[in-house]
Amino acid sequence: MMIQKKRITLLCSSFPPETGAAPTRMYHLAKMLLQHQHEVTVICAMPNYPTGKIFPAYKRRLLVKENFEGINIIRTWLIPTHSSSKMIRAISLLSYTVSLFLLAKKQLLNSQPDLVLVSSPPFVTGFLGLRIAHRCKAKVVLNVSDLWPQSAYDLGFIKEGPFYSFLQKQEQKMYQLADAFSTQSVTIQKHIQELGNSQPSFVYRNLQPDFVQAKQARPSGKRKIVYAGLLGIAQGVLGIIQSIDFAALGTELHIYGQGFELALIKEWTALHPDRGVYYSGALSSEEIPNMLVNYHAMLIPLSASIEGAVPSKIFNAIANGLPILFSGEGEAAEIVQRNQIGFVNKPLDYEQLKENISRLITLSHEEYETMRSDCHLCSETVFNKELQDKNFLEFLSSI
């Protein structure tokens, strides 16, 4: 199919130099569109994640326009926060919503896009972004990376009641505004369809190409485990290191990343130097593949069963040839088990996680290398980034 070149705008809350799954996904999507000769603009908030502070180069500015690797970027003001307070976080979200309406609306209209991809969550900005995008008379694709308010309910942030019911109704209204959907999982895709939405949809996962380093031999000696990502409540890394003595199991856990639990993790590891847990700092996405060659498995935990959640780290592990220790349920667990690329336990089931760690580190060399080979096979077939990108471009062209 001939791909028609378009002016495409991505409307999202975060983008590099921020780190994490969401900005990385948007960056790779923008670069892929640019490589296929589309004109790409990104409208996002001032970089502040995960520190909760505006990055130095962007402080005290309402609007910043810049070109980042050929991508036109428009960044708008917000009140950042790193607080766990629901009220403070709501104020931060509201500030970006106001900024989106007062500052980004004009920028989006001026860019005259043919196609707008709006990201949700954040739910409120997704809803507003859809309404603004329709003012451009452009086709609008809603990119749904998490079900909301369902994910907030699963994490215990919202309880059933009138407010939750109200949010569910708003969610349905938001879906009705989209011309098409891209989702991060099959579960999310089915959820949207079950609510009566028949618009075209595409499961666009945060895949990565096979890295050259992925097939390098792992270090000899004891098998070491790595966690690289956000250190937040949803991941629950602090609870894991408090509950499991990695040294006693004959292994080590090396932690890379930033987030809400970072200070507590650093404090705990300093007080328990004999437990085989080490905090090793934060790395850019470019540095991660070279770091991962030092490890034998990747820990990917969720602290609760979150409907539709398939952590991007699963595809990072696959692309880097690393077997997975996954704490979670649902579609993500099925991916790990069906493809025989690791071991699974339910969220917060530390005893089963301990058993899985023991199973991993006692695999024979042949069994371990077979599991690594299955990771490579996944990356080349069912989770092939090049093939997914080709199909997604055709999907966008058909809208």
pLDDT tens sequence across 33-90: 999 889 999 999 899 877 788 999 898 888 999 998 889 999 988 887 776 666 777 7
Tell me the pTM: 0.87
Contacts of 110 (CB under 8 A, 6+ apart): none
Q: Would you tell me the crossing angle of helices 162-176 and 123-135 to the nearest 10 degrees?
A: 30
Torsion-angle region of residue 161: left (phi > 0), alpha (psi -120 to 50) or beta?
left
202-255 residue pLDDT tens: 999 988 877 777 778 888 889 999 999 989 888 999 999 999 999 999 999 999
Residue 3, pLDDT score: 56
- In the chain, list all ranges with CATH 3.40.50.2000: 7-207+384-398, 212-380
Task: Pick the closest to residue 286 from 81, 19, 84, 8 (CA basis).
Answer: 19
Q: Which CATH number fits domain 7-207+384-398: 3.60.150.10, 3.40.50.150, 3.40.50.2000, 3.40.630.10?
A: 3.40.50.2000
Mean pLDDT of 378-389: 93
pLDDT above 50: residue 1: no
CATH number, domain 212-380? 3.40.50.2000
Asked if 223 and 251 touch (Cβ cutoff 8 Å), the reply is yes
Tokens of 86: 């629901």
294-351 residue pLDDT tens: 999 999 999 988 888 899 999 999 999 999 999 999 999 999 999 999 999 999 999 9
Q: State the DSSP H helix or E strand holding residue 28, giving kind and residue range, or none if neither.
A: helix 21-35
Distance CA 294, CA 290 (A): 8
Taking CA 313 as the corner, what is the angle to CA 311 and CA 314, rounded to the nearest 5 degrees? 80
3-state secondary structure of 135: helix
